[in-house]
């Protein structure tokens, strides 16, 4: 993500190209491993998915599964692909893609929060107030995530002097990238850690 600096257009273009080369180099190192893990997981779970999801009646649980499994993929091959790969896109399209990228993630993480909270609650049978604690924590995390998206929407903008030959993402300027990044990723990281600790502790207690 580019930070607002008093660089000339030429220097910004050079910085963007260098950043792009570095990003592609780092991405390439882990791409093979990620592809292997994803392919293996899909291969192992596809028969069960076909039997219990696609050949069964649609329920709330199956809908959660479909959203979590294919929602991110759909978002990646549409919004993010255009944001990161569409060279010389019009500024109006870049602004629309920027907003779409920020807000399309929000409805995709809600099923994940709900599923993880239900899994944690299933291990809290001996805690009478567990559902209220988990429910309040979920609401807090969702509101924090929403605040992060709102802050990102306010602070992120597309440069009026676009970098010729580069995708939209390299024309994005953020006033306070650290604060926005913390609010966008912090609540999710906190939620995952708390859910892991709850499940691990309850499983240890039941042994």
Residue range 105-131, pLDDT digits in tens: 788 888 888 888 888 888 887 777 888
Burial (CB count within 10 angstroms: exposed 0-12, middle 13-18, buried 19+), residue 145: buried
Domain ranges of the chain: 57-206
User: What pTM did the predictor assign?
Assistant: 0.63
Quote the radius of gyration of the chain (alpha carbons, Å): 21
Q: One digit per residue, pLDDT tens: the chain, 207 residues?
A: 333 333 343 344 444 444 444 444 444 444 455 556 666 776 777 888 888 888 888 888 788 888 877 887 788 778 878 888 888 888 888 888 888 887 887 888 888 888 888 888 888 877 778 888 888 988 888 888 888 888 877 777 777 777 777 788 777 776 666 666 677 678 888 888 888 888 888 888 776
Cα–Cα distance measured from residue 137 to residue 100, given in angstroms and rounded to the nearest whole number: 27
Which alpha helices (H) appear in the chain, and where do they start and end?
A: 9-49, 60-75, 81-85, 91-122, 130-155, 177-206
Residue range 37-69, pLDDT digits in tens: 666 776 777 888 888 888 888 888 788 888 877
Cβ atoms of 62 and 56 closer than 8 Å: yes
Which one, of 178, 179, 161, lies nearest residue 170 by Cα? Answer: 161
């Amino acid at each position: 993500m580019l930070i607002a600096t008093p660089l000339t257009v030429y220097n910004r273009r050079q910085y963007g190209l260098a950043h792009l080369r570095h990003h592609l180099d780092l991405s390439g190192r882990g791409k093979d491993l990620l592809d292997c893990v994803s392919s293996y997981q899909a291969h192992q779970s596809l028969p069960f998915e076909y039997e219990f999801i696609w050949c069964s009646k649609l329920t709330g649980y199956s809908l959660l599964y479909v959203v979590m499994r294919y929602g991110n993929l759909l978002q990646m091959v549409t919004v993010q692909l255009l944001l990161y790969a569409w060279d010389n896109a019009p500024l109006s399209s870049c602004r629309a893609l920027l907003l779409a990228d920020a807000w399309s993630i929000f409805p995709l993480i809600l099923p994940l929060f709900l599923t993880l909270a239900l899994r944690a609650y299933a291990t809290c049978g001996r805690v009478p107030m567990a559902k209220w604690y988990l429910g309040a924590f979920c609401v807090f995390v969702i509101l924090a995530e929403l605040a992060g998206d709102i802050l990102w929407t306010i602070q992120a903008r597309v440069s009026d002097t676009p970098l010729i030959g580069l995708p939209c993402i390299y024309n994005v300027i953020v006033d306070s990238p650290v604060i926005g990044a913390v609010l966008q990723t912090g609540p999710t990281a906190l939620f995952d850690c708390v859910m892991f600790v709850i499940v691990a502790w309850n499983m240890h207690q039941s042994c």
